[in-house]
Chain A
Amino acid sequence: MKIDHSQPLEYSTHKNEMNILGFWIFLGAEIMLFATLFTSYFIYENRVGNGPSGAEIFEITPVLIETVVLLTSSFTIGLAINAMRLNRPKAMLWFLGITLILGATFLSVEIYEFVHYYHVGATLQTSAFTGILLTTLGTHGAHVTFGLFWGIAIFLQIKKHGLTPETANKSFNYSLYWHFLDVMWIFIFSFIYLKGMM
């Protein structure tokens, strides 16, 4: 492996650079995936059948907690990458750890939110609207869950090997993924919750 020291660690080999480009393209596909889900959501938004509408079931508190927690985690993963660039693995692990804890918090609140929907009678089967609502939120939540496991794997690898071109590369892609989920959440927050509650 040729290592180019003028570049940050995560870009320092040809392989790394390709990984990052590939990951960006993957995120492009993910954007298409979420765009399709959002379009579907808008299509079904008012097609509530005999079920409740968004305004009737959305609760602002858990949603706000989720939003704050996830936005903060996007900030802390940014700090982690910054620490990585400064070559401070300890600090990086701290920030990565905090990110994961925030991610888990987000997920717990989201599970609470789902239980709430179940109790007010908004399940997958209730109507096309509740179906697409839960599918869209669920897809995002599944991505966060996957992200948590991936983050733990990276955490352990940095702990074991330190900051190498490989671990730095993975962490960088991971941060892209995490920011991406955050952006998707901002869309969910604005166009599903806020719009629905208005």
Chain B
Amino acid sequence: MEFFERFAIPHPDPMIYASMVAIVLVSIAIVAGLTYFKKWGYLWDEWLTTTDHKRIGIMYLISALIMLFRGGADAVMMRVQLSSPEMEFLNAQHYNEVFTTHGVVMIFFMAMPFVIGLMNYIVPLQIGARDVAFPRLNALSFWLFFAGAMLFNISFVIGGSPDAGWTNYFPLASNEFSQSVGVNYYMWALQISGIGTLMTGINFIVTIFRMRAPGMKLMKMPLFTWSALITNVIIVFAFPVLTVALLMGTFDRQFGTSFFATGNGGMDMYWANLFWVWGHPEVYILILPAFGIYSEIISTFSERNLYGYKSMVASMVLISLLSFFVWVHHFFTMGQGALTNSIFSITTMAIAIPTGIKIFNWLLTMWKGKIRFTVPMLYSVAFIPLFTVGGVTGVMLAMASADYQYHNTMFLVAHFHNTIIPGVVYAMLAGLTYWWPKMFGFILNERIGKWAFWFNVVGFVLAFFPMYITGLDGQARRMYTYSESTGFGPLNMLSFAGAGLMAIAFILIAYNIFYSIKNSPRNVGDDPWNARSLEWATHNPVPEYNFAITPEVNSSQALWDHKKKSHTLFKGKIDKIHMPNNSGIPIIMAGILFVFGFSFVFSIWPAVIIAAIAFFSCMLYSSFENDHGRYISAEEVKETEEKFGGAKK
């Protein structure tokens, strides 16, 4: 029995037991359902072993949406707890756990897979490629992300949630102050999914450099692809820092090193440094693809060329460089002295310049455009003013001396939600809606979409703008309650109402998906938005080989050229097409790493060693395997093209 005691929950609560039961029931239902409908084979052949970038993209997106709801549930719990003074819904410990999992889930398991999912689906299509450079590695990336996400998500029912914040500062995160295995989960869940992200980075850089269609010079890539390229470069440089930080953190907690301890030569602030050397570039990993998506959408629905293409690219490159030199702004108050603070204060403010350039470019793109207010466009238009507020408050925070007032208050919480929600989340919703017909061949209902949009925007403003005020008045972040006499009550109640509206927005979005699957017309054609870039030049939904003939392009708006300047995209005749084979190795390797991570969390060393050996055996097996892919014959391609409504010109 002693062995099993370690899996008990350290701070039990009826809600946690209820979730436990729910998880077990849902799992049983899924397994039973798959068995009853005999869908295991289909699932395995078509999805779990796929190496098709489109299917992998869709799996990322599904996971991201599920995680959005998990993180959203955490958010609602926090807002309930803070809705009025001295609330007794969550106690201090549970509040700690909830804000920690909320942050981690939203950043790592919602925003990241959302961004990477859209990149997966769209980038190869935008550059006229048949897949990514390393399809099997791509599948491995996905499954590692998924294993990490699952590991993180079981923590609260097996052994206890992490509770030291998504930034996981030491010494709070050390064994002394975080006694459950929660923080171990944090370390391994992020380590495993982080390695997957790093491989995505490598994969997409090679894809974008080496697999572009003839004629697509770097400066003729659609902007979303540009943003993906820059993002992936940031990933490759930033993620190894996180890898080392997590490793050192694991060692401190499980092998008794004293890197981040307060004695024995250790230095607790070093964790904060490492974390933000990765962490600040990370926020740009999230926002740059969002910028790319907005650029595509704004230009499409204004029916105009994107204004200032070159300055758009240049400003993204500049942002990516600067993003590595600002990390200290996250702890101005921790005593590094005036000179250091001033330098980082200036580098931080400098980021506002390229960002501002982009804002003006979007505005000038819309200037005199024929604007169509579709759902994706609504999100993009709302993004511009809201994100500007986020940027301006960022510059306020960047003033080191003033930051002594705002740091670790609700003002900061308002700032980063103000950048991340209108910035990243709206972009993901806009991108999902925009490319939905690309993926599934029908449009999401616009009416429900617009309702969801308004709930989202009004909810956002109500939920977060009051925090600027209470923050300036001194309401601290990460505090589970406050007293009546502070006077924070009414504004927090307003935030709660806003959060409620946002919850309705997301429920509407989910409902819209079900509604549209059933009711949306399927005859939207291949170009439902009158779009401009290459991904819209093939069929909707996309056949597995993407393009029957490799397109030839001469600008970033290949389809527009085709439509307006009668440029022929597809020259030559249909030939056989080389495609990657499916493989079960990626999911098996990720499963093994899941076991590895889980056993490591609980220090079950024999299982750790066996899993490690199994993992390397899989690598060895792959090395000896001779997989040359397969060919789709020209006849088969022609047949498919007919089925999709005839070959493209």
Contact = CB atoms under 8 A, between A and B. Distances in A.
A67 interface: no
Nearest to B620: A153
Main secondary structure of the interface of B (DSSP, over half): helix
Contacts of A108: none
Contacts of B620: 149, 153
B202 interface: yes
A47 B267 contact: yes
Given A43-B267, A50-B264, A124 B623 contact: no
Contacts of B209: 21
Contacts of A17: 210
A89 B42 CA distance: 45
Contacts of A25: 201-202, 205-206, 236
From A1, A26, A156, residue with most partner B Cβ within 10 Å: A26
Contacts of B210: 14, 17-18, 21
A190 interface: no
B264 A36 contact: no
A40 interface: yes
B263 interface: yes
Interface string B237-263: 111110111011001000111110101
B206 A21 contact: yes
Contacts of A49: 258, 263-266
Interface in B9-59: none
A32 interface: yes
Interface residues on A, range: 35 or more
Interface string A45-67: 00111110000000000000000
A43 B268 CA distance: 12
Contacts of A156: 624
Contacts of A124: 251, 255-257
Nearest to A31: B240
A166 B264 CA distance: 50
A132 interface: yes
Given A1-B628, A29-B198, A36-B274, A135 B248 contact: yes
A91 interface: no
Contacts of A132: 259
A22 B135 CA distance: 13
Contacts of A37: 244
A47 B240 CA distance: 24
Contact of A128 (B211, B243, B245, B265): B265
A1 to B, nearest CB: 7
A131 B244 contact: no
Contacts of B624: 153, 156-157
B202 A128 contact: no
Nearest to B274: A36
B133 interface: yes
Nearest to A51: B265
Contacts of B202: 22, 25-26, 29
Nearest to B258: A128
B270 interface: yes
From B245, B248, B258, B624, residue with most partner A Cβ within 10 Å: B258
B266 A47 contact: yes
Interface residues on B, range: 35 or more
B360 to A, nearest CB: 33
Nearest to B264: A49
Interface in A13-39: 14, 17-18, 21-22, 25-26, 28-30, 32-33, 36-37
Contacts of B623: 150, 153-154, 157, 170
B134 interface: yes
Interface in B385-422: none
Contact of A125 (B134, B201, B238, B258): B258
A113 to B, nearest CB: 19
Interface string A112-143: 00000000000011011101100100000000
A128 B244 contact: no
A175 B240 CA distance: 22
A44 interface: yes
Contacts of A21: 206, 209-210
Contacts of B211: 18
Interface in A162-179: 166, 170
Contacts of A129: 265
B258 A40 contact: no
Contacts of B264: 49-51, 127-128
A50 B263 CA distance: 10
A125 B245 CA distance: 17
Nearest to B198: A29
B251 A135 contact: yes
A32 B257 contact: no
Given A22-B206, A124-B256, A131 B236 contact: no
Contacts of B240: 29-30, 32-33, 36
A12 B626 CA distance: 18
B203 interface: yes
B616 interface: yes
A26 B201 CA distance: 9
6 contacts: A1-B628, A22-B205, A25-B201, A29-B201, A32-B240, A40-B248
Interface of B: 133-134, 198, 201-203, 205-206, 209-211, 236-241, 243-245, 247-248, 251, 255-259, 261, 263-267, 270, 274, 616, 620, 623-624, 626, 628
Given A17-B210, A132-B259, 9 more contacts: A18-B133, A18-B210, A22-B133, A25-B206, A29-B236, A36-B241, A127-B258, A127-B264, A128-B264
Sort A-B residue pairs by CB-CB distance and give the 9 closest, nearest first: A128-B265, A47-B265, A49-B265, A131-B257, A32-B240, A33-B240, A49-B264, A36-B244, A127-B265
